[in-house]
Each structure stands twice: as structure tokens, then as C-alpha cells.
Amino acid sequence: MSISSSMDAFSPTLRGPAVFVALFLCVTLCTVYSPLISCIVAYVGKSVVALSLGAFISIVFNSYLEKLFGSAKGKTVDPQGRAVFVTGCDTGFGQELAHRLHKLGFYVFAGCLSESSPGAETLRAKGKAEDRIEVVECDVTKNQQVIDCAAKIKEQLRAKKLELFALVNNAGIVSYCEFEWVPVEDYEKLMDVNTLGTVRVMKAFLPLLRESAGRIVIVASLSGRYAIPGMVGYSMTKHAQIALADGLRRELKKFGIKVSLVEPGAYKTTMNDAAVGLSAVDKHWQNSSEEMRTFYGEAYYAAFKKHLEKVSASSCARLSEPVDCMEDAVISEHPKLRYVPGSTGARLRGFILPFLPYCVQDYLMKMAAAPAVPLCRNA
């Protein structure tokens, strides 16, 4: 067998462990000859060093590694006779993905919270013109509606002689506010949409995916890897989605079903609109008890809102990046297990930060928090 064919046979799934083992051995040898490296390794551990170096090398030198190991990048599946169901298509990533998949030749079932939303109307108009996009109303918090949606799609698949090839769990909501200011009901809603909504949809559509040995794409967030101050509730729900994806990837492998995670950072979508976020913060602040407002003080409240505006303004405007990853997870012959869209810096944070010591993580996360301190701390 030639070197080239050997590289092609090297499964993408094995590259991560192979790099890890090689780096682990290198670190072990270096500790023998370098006292400095020995001290570093003794503090953070060989595994953390190897993982960090592996993440750095795989991200910074990604294109070179793909060439070296004969990546399957560019090999895509045939869309003919295949359908995709995408949730959260009213706006943002979901709507853009629906348009892209339709253009590529897939039959797209676009799940929208409301059939009368502007986004749904746009998709419906394209569907009438080209007959390969169908808008379906799907509120992921309503179990019966999700079940009815799956039944309707199953009927359409049979009638059009299609198979459900992919399910993209994209529907989600966000909350940016101090933990204490947010009522329990809002945390329940976050879980209901982001986490349990994903569970409802997958349970309803898994029978169809088992028939096709298809794939699942879950749009989580980097906030699920490390909790950001002011986004505790959102991070909690996204952490649960990541655990769900990891578990199902292993559990559904016996059926030939692939599961991919897409973990965007902050992008300029409707969810991250400053006006929407500020309105929610105002509501929570006003509904908080007088004791709570006195404890934090108006200065902290104003500083928190200013920080929210800054975070929203710094959000990435390149919305195509997450959608590129979502698209690849659907169409690639060998989709990645995890996608982290964005700059090299963003991907380094996504891969390395969770492995740093907690004291270092806490220091870095403190830099992402509102800069002011509550009034009571100044008393």
C-alpha cells in the first residue's frame, strides 16, 4: 500500500487520539531533559499540556494537517431523494441554512415558531416557486405539536419518496442578566426551549433517522464549555446540550447515525440584539425586590447595561461562519464531531480554555464580567 493510500485510510476520528498520544510521549521525554518543562508538567499535568498543544497545533496548522493526512474535506453526499428538517428557521442561522440546503438540492422542511412570521413567509414564497422548501410550524416547547410535526413530515416523505437524511436542532433563546435578577420561570423557559426542546424534537424524529441511518446536528454554544458571568442560565442549558450530543453520538452509533456539535460564540443575530437584551434586563431589574435593588445599587445596574451594550457591539458580524459549519455537518461525507466557527483565537479558546486550571478560567471569565461592583461591596 502506498503512503498516499495509507494516509487516506487513516480515519479522521483517530487523528485526535493519535496526536494526543504522540504529544504525550513527547512531553514525557521532555520532562526527563528539561527541569523547567518538568515543573510545568508537574503543576498542570501531562494530559493538559498534551491536549493544549494538540488543540493549538490542530487549529493553527489545520490546513497542513488535512493535506498531510488526506482529509475527506470536499467530499459531499448526494442530496437527491434526501430531506432535512431544521428548527428555528424564523430568523438567523436556521433561515440561512434552509436557503443554502435548498440551493444545494435537498428538500427542506423549515421549522418555524410561527407560520406567519416574516421569515416563514420568505421561505414559503421560495417553496411555492421551486417546490423544495416546506414551512412547518414547530414550537419545540409543545410536545404534541412536535409529534404532529413529525407525523406530517413522515407523510410528506412517503408521498414524495424521500428519506429524512438530517435533523438540525437550531431553535434556541438566550438570556443575559445577573443570576439573582432572573425569576425561576425564565430559567424554566430557557431549559424548555434550549434543552428539552432538543430532546422533544429528537425523540419524535429518531424513528425516521434510524430508517435512513442519517445524522443529527445540534447547535450549542461555546458558553456550554465555560460559563460566562451574566449568562449562567444560558450556559447551563448549552452545557446540557453538549452532554446530550456526546451521549447520543455514542448511543446512536449502532444505528449508523452521526451526531455533530456546532458551538458558535457571540454573533450579531436577533438573539444578541442589544435592544432586546436591555429590555429584558430592565424588566428583571424593575421586577426585583427593593432589597435586591438596594443591595446592587443603581450604579451597578447602569454598569451592567453598559457592559451588555459593549458585548453586543463586539459580537461577530460574519454570520456565514456558523452556517458554514452547520452546512458542512449536513453535507459532508465525513462530518466532524465538533465544529467551532470563528477566528483562530475563538477556536483556541473553545478547545483550550476548558482544560485550564479553574483558577485560570475564573480569572479569564472575570475579565468578561461587568466591571463594576455592587453598592454593598463599597459600603
Residues forming the active site: 234
CB neighbourhood size of 189 (10 A): 16
Residue 211: name the closest of 281, 142, 157 by CA.
Answer: 157
**Which residues, 6+ apart, have CB-to-CB distance to 14 below 8 Å?**
none
| Phi then psi dihedrals of residue 82, to 5 deg | -120, 140
The continuous run of DSSP H or E covering 135 comes out as: strand 133-137
Q: For the chain, what is the radius of gyration of the CA atoms?
A: 23
**Rounded Cα distance, 57 and 51, in Å:** 10
Residue 269: name the closest of 20, 45, 88, 102 by CA.
Answer: 88
β-pairing verdict for 133-137 and 163-169: unpaired
**Rounded Cα distance, 95 and 88, in Å:** 7
The continuous run of DSSP H or E covering 111 comes out as: strand 107-112
Partner residues linked to 164 by β-bridges: 83
Q: How far is CA 285 from CA 120, 308, 343, in A?
A: 34, 14, 35
Q: How far does the chain reach from its first CA to its final CA, in angstroms? A: 75
Place of cell 431544521: 86
Which cell numbers in the block locate residue 281?
A: 434586563
**Which residues, 6+ apart, have CB-to-CB distance to 156 below 8 Å?**
109, 134, 162
Q: How far is CA 293 from CA 45, 202, 233, in A?
A: 44, 41, 20
DSSP 3-state of 147: helix
CB neighbourhood size of 251 (10 A): 11
**Rounded Cα distance, 376 and 286, in Å:** 19
